[in-house]
């Protein structure tokens, strides 16, 4: 699942760089301050790291349960798995909204 997160993050980075190239090509000034874009990038990175952490935790708990570790219950595994699933789905939905917004902005007449 880390591969899926990496692909998602790379897709977001490529869209951001494409927007940067189109602004420099058209000589359009950017309206945002560098600190806000850096904060947004950090926010996305932290969110992806959190999702990845939840997925790794769920994977470790599943492995521990399969190996017979008595300190991990089936309920713990199911909860960790569902947390991971919900976080990943939320991340995908955010990505979809970003892609929609990007497409809408790119289709605006100049």
Q: What is the pLDDT of residues 25-57, one digit of tens each?
A: 444 444 545 567 778 888 889 999 999 999 999
What are 38's two structure tokens? 């850096």
* In contact, 19 and 58? CB cutoff 8 Å: no
In the chain, the number of structural domains is 1
pTM for the whole structure:
0.61
Distances (CA, A) of 43 to 16, 49, 88: 14, 10, 15
Residue 106 and residue 103: Cα distance in Å, rounded?
Answer: 5
Q: Is 28 a member of any domain?
A: no
Rounded distance between C-alpha atoms, residue 88 and residue 93, angstroms: 9
In a domain, 85, yes or no: yes
* Residue 100 counted as domain residue: yes
First-to-last C-alpha distance (Å) of the chain: 40
Query: Who has greater pLDDT, 10 or 68?
Result: 68
Segment 55-100, tens digit of pLDDT: 999 999 999 999 999 999 999 999 999 999 999 999 999 999 999 9
Locate 42 and state its tokens.
């950090």
Q: What is the domain extent for residue 81? A: 2-9+34-106
- The tokens of 43 are what? 């926010």
């Amino acid at each position: 699942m880390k591969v899926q997160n990496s692909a998602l993050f790379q897709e977001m980075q490529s869209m951001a760089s494409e927007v940067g190239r189109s602004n420099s090509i058209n000589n359009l000034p950017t309206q945002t301050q560098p600190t806000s874009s850096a904060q947004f990038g950090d926010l996305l990175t932290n969110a992806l790291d959190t999702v990845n952490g939840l997925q790794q935790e769920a994977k470790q708990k599943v492995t521990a349960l399969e190996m017979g570790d008595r300190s991990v219950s089936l309920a713990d595994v199911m909860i960790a798995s569902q947390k991971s699933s919900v976080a990943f789905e939320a991340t995908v939905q955010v990505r979809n909204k970003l892609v929609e917004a990007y497409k809408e902005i790119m289709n605006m007449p100049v």
